[in-house]
């Protein structure tokens, strides 16, 4: 029996429209996603239930949400998947967040990080954490990240280990002594991002003592989850893999290859990352041979589907890494039961020039039948997926067409309306801290960069173009005046 874990992490924090946002999915969507994962060879799903937005004491509404979440374990198990639930080590929210329904809550504006060396605060936090686990007591493992979010400057290794000891005590009392504990080694327990900047603090002095403490004090059974970033010179690079290897813990690890399926955080777009997947798989091949398994992630798997598919195939068979992009996309089209001649240019349109994207591709996509059972398992359904692809291609076409026009308001209006129309499909607003209205920040660079380049070389009357464009975008409340002014000013000045 193959016990090698091939996992996927479903991220729930950033806000999008349905079906982009994992937190917006119905139970049927989760069941479909788990079936899709099984069909692709996954045997593990990691899920962030975002219980951090459920302040103490648990409200009746939040208890009901947790009871619904319990069903995810049953859905996963029915499809041969293990379910890992993910938590922060010490984060919770201010009480006023509970005024909104669970699925509408923005975590970061209300976040509180509990200092675990404050005895009263620590005990209140652990009591609340235990109340959550008593409801979500049917998962296969309980994952806790060492920071981002969570942690605080000078946090001590013993406090991180204490989180797992408390969870173990709770799980044992519930008859779940078999449940795995999973330390997620990511940002460095005890980091001080306010003082040192994001990812500018060396990880080794923070993480090495934590690994030593875990080795000596963490009760069995447990698995390590060290994570690396998409590039060696970005964020934590591959430092955590090196530290885990130095600690002799690779054989006890599932290796999380973060961002190679989808960069995070990012607005929705079809952004093929096949070369990143190849590079990181090949780079980590020696460690993958020794590790317990491998895991990838995405915030919104809908748009990252080609990368998700390639990751799954490569995780099962390293020879699949040698396939060319066109062959991989053809395989995916066959997997979905769709016409490769329609799907492939849709998936590739972000890198194609205007002349190589069929003008009627959006119409072809809306008429497309994705006939395989696997396609029906996509969150939102096969028809919704084809419609989303059509909207994506339409936005790309409109932006490229606008950028071929003379430098005046007509072109800028066309380009900005295309960006805003695509945003209205996905409604990505990052963490919600900057509001939920349209912003250029909420547009993927694949769509935005052609229009930015066009504006950088603008030779027309900027002030007149600015005025006319803003008035047009405000007409009929297509955009609010604040959103229109911010977007136009950011592009033209």
How many domains does the chain divide into? 3
Largest CA distance in the chain: 72
Same-domain pairing of 41 and 117: yes
pLDDT of res. 229? 97
Same-domain pairing of 155 and 179: yes
pLDDT of res. 15? 86
- The tens-digit pLDDT sequence of the chain (493 residues) is 457 999 999 999 888 999 999 999 999 999 999 999 999 999 999 999 999 999 999 999 999 999 999 999 999 999 999 999 999 999 999 999 999 999 999 999 999 999 999 999 999 999 999 999 999 999 999 999 999 999 999 999 999 999 999 999 999 999 999 999 999 999 999 999 999 999 999 999 999 999 999 999 999 999 999 999 999 999 999 999 999 999 999 999 999 999 999 998 899 999 999 999 999 999 999 999 999 999 999 999 999 999 999 999 999 999 999 999 999 999 999 999 999 999 999 999 999 999 999 999 999 999 999 999 999 999 999 999 999 999 999 999 999 999 999 999 999 999 999 999 999 999 999 988 888 999 999 999 999 999 999 999 999 999 999 999 999 999 999 999 999 999 999 999 9
Residue at which a domain ends, from 294, 323, 352: 323
For residues 403 and 426, the answer to whether their CB atoms sit within 8 Å is: no
Same-domain pairing of 133 and 270: yes
pLDDT of res. 2? 57
pLDDT of res. 1? 41
Same-domain pairing of 427 and 478: yes
Nearest Cα neighbor of 283 from 235, 324, 242, 225 is 242
- At 255, which CATH number? 3.20.20.80
Tokens 């999380």 belong to 256
Residue at which a domain ends, from 292, 323, 354: 323
Same-domain pairing of 171 and 69: yes
For residues 448 and 487, the answer to whether their CB atoms sit within 8 Å is: no
Same-domain pairing of 271 and 377: no
Same-domain pairing of 415 and 360: no
Residue at which a domain ends, from 301, 323, 345: 323
Q: Which residues, in sequence order, are bridge partners of residue 182?
A: 143
Same-domain pairing of 260 and 388: no
Same-domain pairing of 289 and 172: yes
Same-domain pairing of 79 and 96: yes
Per DSSP, the residues of 99-151 read GS-GGG--SGGGEEE--TTSHHHHHHHHHHHHHHHHHS---SEEEEESSSSS-
3-state secondary structure of 142: strand
Same-domain pairing of 252 and 300: yes
Same-domain pairing of 287 and 361: no
- 3-state SS, one letter per residue, for 277-323: HHHHHHHCHHHHHHCCEEEEEECCCCCCHHHHHHHHHHHHCHHHHHC
pLDDT of res. 280? 98
Enclosing domain of residue 341: 330-397
CA dist., res. 129 & res. 110, Å (int): 18
CA dist., res. 304 & res. 230, Å (int): 15
CA dist., res. 332 & res. 302, Å (int): 13
């Amino acid at each position: 029996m193959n016990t090698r874990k091939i996992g996927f992490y479903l991220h729930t924090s950033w806000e999008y429209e349905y079906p982009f946002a994992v937190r917006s999915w119905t139970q049927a969507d989760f069941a479909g996603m788990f079936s899709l994962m099984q069909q692709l060879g996954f045997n593990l799903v990691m899920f962030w239930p975002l219980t951090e937005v459920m302040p103490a004491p648990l409200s009746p509404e939040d208890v009901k949400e947790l009871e619904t979440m319990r069903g995810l374990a049953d859905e996963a198990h029915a499809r041969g998947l293990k379910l890992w639930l993910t938590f922060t080590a010490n984060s919770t929210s201010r009480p006023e967040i509970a005024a909104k329904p669970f699925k509408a809550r923005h975590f970061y504006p209300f976040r509180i990080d509990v200092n675990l060396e404050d005895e009263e605060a620590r005990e209140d936090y652990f009591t609340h954490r235990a109340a959550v686990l008593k409801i979500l007591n049917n998962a296969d493992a309980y994952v806790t990240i060492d920071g981002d979010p969570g942690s605080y400057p000078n946090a001590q290794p013993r406090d991180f280990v204490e989180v797992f000891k408390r969870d173990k005590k709770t799980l044992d009392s519930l008859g779940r002594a078999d449940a795995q504990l999973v330390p997620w080694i990511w940002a460095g327990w005890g980091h001080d991002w306010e003082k040192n900047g994001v990812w500018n603090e060396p990880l080794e002095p923070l993480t090495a003592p934590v690994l030593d403490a875990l080795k000596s004090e963490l009760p069995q059974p447990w698995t390590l989850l060290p994570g690396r970033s998409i590039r060696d010179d970005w964020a934590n690079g591959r430092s955590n893999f090196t530290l885990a290897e130095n600690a002799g813990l690779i054989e006890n690890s599932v290796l999380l290859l973060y961002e190679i399926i989808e960069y995070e955080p990012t607005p929705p777009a079809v952004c093929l990352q096949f070369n990143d997947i190849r590079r990181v798989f090949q780079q980590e091949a020696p460690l993958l041979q020794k590790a317990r398994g491998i895991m990838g992630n995405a915030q919104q798997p809908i748009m990252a589907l080609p990368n998700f598919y390639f990751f799954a195939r490569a995780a099962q068979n390293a020879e699949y890494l040698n396939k060319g992009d066109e062959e991989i996309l053809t395989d995916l089209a066959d997997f979905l039961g769709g016409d490769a001649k329609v799907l492939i240019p849709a998936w590739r349109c972000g890198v194609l020039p205007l002349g190589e994207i069929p003008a009627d591709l959006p119409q072809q996509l809306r008429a497309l039948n994705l006939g395989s059972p696997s396609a029906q398992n996509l969150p939102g359904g096969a028809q919704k997926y084809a419609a989303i692809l059509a909207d994506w291609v339409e936005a790309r076409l409109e932006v490229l067409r606008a950028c071929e026009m003379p430098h005046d308001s007509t072109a800028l209006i066309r380009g900005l309306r295309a960006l805003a129309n695509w945003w209205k499909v996905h409604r990505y607003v990052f963490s919600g801290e900057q509001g939920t209205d349209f912003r250029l920040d909420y547009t993927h660079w694949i769509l935005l960069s052609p229009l930015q380049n066009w504006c950088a070389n603008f030779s027309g009357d900027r002030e007149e173009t600015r005025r006319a464009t803003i008035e047009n975008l405000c007409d009929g409340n297509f955009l609010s005046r604040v959103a229109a002014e911010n977007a136009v000013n950011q592009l033209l000045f």
